[in-house]
Amino acid sequence: MPSTRFIFGFHAVTSRLRQNPNSIKEIFIDATRTDLRAQELIKLAENKKIHVISCTGSKLNSMSGNDRHQGIVANIDSISNYVGIDDILDELTEPARLLVLDGIQDPHNLGACLRVADAFGVHAIIAPKDRAVGLTPTVYKVSSGAADTVPYISVTNLARTLKQLKEQGIWIIGTAEDAEHDLTHFRISGSVAWVFGSEEKGLRRLTRENCDQLVRIPMQGNIESLNVAVSAGICLFETHRQQSLG
């Protein structure tokens, strides 16, 4: 199995250059990009001793799978920055704050979730290996660099992982429209893992059963549900707000 993948877009590639340059094998840039932004990226890459290759836009289209690469694509080592959940938890000197995504398949939603996670101090995102989008080039681009600041951990068995988190003293909070508890009046303290289901079906049965508590976001309008990244942002902000108050 190859250990490489492509990321594209100026935000994603620049972030990777700054956060984990050793994982970059080479950078491809559209030969027609001679603007200041491109020049600055090339200079940064040269400072990090990363080989930059000029090429055609069509070659970049082929590598990224679309034409939204902004003229920049990087070939990265996909396993160079792997970490496990135990690695994350062992290093923490504060209560854990985790985001668990149960089967999110839309790359734009995952990219937005990564940005939200970065904004509110999430230590890691956990997701199943199957029925989940994973870190695709589109996810990297949408995350605007957050894919390099928030560890993304794929697990084989999500239900078992939730049980292991509970054994380590982490409170598992699932979100569901029919939950008894309202986020507005829900006390959040200590180490927590927020769990969100897929865009269409919500939490799977085993995932739901392994949550310590189910919480719903109060809705006052006519829309019955929110985008998963919006929901995650609301819950993580409330977590940050409450825990900041001590």
Q: Is 217 annotated as a binding residue?
A: yes
Long-range contacts of 51-56 (CB under 8 A, 24+ apart): 51/26, 51/27, 52/26, 52/27, 52/28, 53/26, 53/27, 53/28, 53/29, 54/28, 54/29, 54/30, 55/28, 55/29, 55/30, 55/31, 56/30, 56/31
Distance between CA atoms of residues 10 and 12, nearest Å: 6
Q: Where are the alpha helices (DSSP H) in the chain?
A: 10-19, 36-47, 57-64, 85-91, 107-119, 137-143, 158-167, 205-209, 228-245
Q: Which residues are annotated as a binding site for S-adenosyl-L-methionine?
A: 197, 217, 226
Q: Which residues are annotated as a binding site?
A: 197, 217, 226
